[in-house]
Amino acid sequence: MYELRKINRAGGSSMHEGNAKNIGYVAWRWPLNPEKPTLVFIHGSGGSSVLWEKQIDALKEVNTIALDLPGHGRSSGPGMDSVADYCKAVADFIETVEVPGPVPCGLSIGGAIVLQLILEHKERYKAAILVNTGARLRVMPLILETIKKDYEKYLSTIPLFAASEKTDPRKLALLMADTAKCSPETAYGDFMACNRFDVTDKLSTIITPVLILTAEDDKLTPPKFGVYMKEQIRRASIVNIKDAGHLSPLEQPETFNRAVTDFLKQEKLIL
């Protein structure tokens, strides 16, 4: 059903790398502890699981899995151009790997996928985390145009529009290197999927407890997007991360991880 192997990381730590339903992933521990919830991390447009490098082995009180969407990172097959299709792929992955107590956590398009998951499978998830995302995601035309006409230029400008000016570029180096491996067709499809996404009229039907994480310097999905979702989702809490942009899990990992841990404790998923 799925492949798995152990990999060693710099500094002496180790992780597990696998593939299931054509989705590549990394996990901190394997087998997953059935007594603990599992954070399932979903990256943003044109990205990969490298986005979560500061979460995957830091949040050790729970199981952690960071996946690569189809067409990204370790995953095979083409990318997709709708959030609904990505949602189905992620839901199938979670079922195949038999993830215990899944708590999906997604950034940007990953957050849109999480919203779709908790709308379509209301009883499946005990909690969910929405990071730098919105119920409606419109993409700046300049981004779409640049991807189509000059992909190298688009890649070079990611740190400028996606990160805070206060962020040390070295924090983003691994993600930028991995993002460069994503094809322009896949990146364009991701952003078009965002452009078509709109669940504003469904937020009030969400029953899952939700943590909304916004970032003070996020230019792509500004904090007001999260505030709107907080007002519409009945069981939502919100934390705004300072000195961070759209890539807050890498820019301010300690603050990010503390907010996630506090939320899991609040929902009594960990002690």
β-strands 63-67, 14-20 pairing:
unpaired
**Whole domain around residue 226: which residue ranges?**
2-266
In 3D space, the residue among 205, 194, 20 whose CA is nearest the CA of residue 112 turns out to be: 194
Distance (Å, whole) CA 39 – CA 32 = 11
| Cut 0.85: pTM above it | yes
Domain contains 92: yes
Structure tokens at 240: 């705004």
Mean pLDDT of the chain: 94
The domain spanning residue 18 has which CATH number? Answer: 3.40.50.1820
Q: Measured in whole angstroms, how far is the alpha carbon of residue 250 from the centre of its chain?
A: 12
Mean pLDDT for 188-212 is 98
Whether residue 208 is contained in a domain is answered as yes
In a domain, 85, yes or no: yes
Residue 143 falls inside a structural domain: yes
Residue 181 lies in a domain: yes
Res 14 pLDDT > 90 = no
pLDDT tens track for 71-96? 999 998 899 999 999 999 999 999 99
Q: How many separate domains does the chain show?
A: 1
Domain membership of residue 66 (yes or no) is yes
**CB contact at 8 A, 101 and 243:** no
In a domain, 271, yes or no: no
**Is there a domain that residue 241 lies in?**
yes
Nearest-5° angle of CA 10, CA 57, CA 128? 145
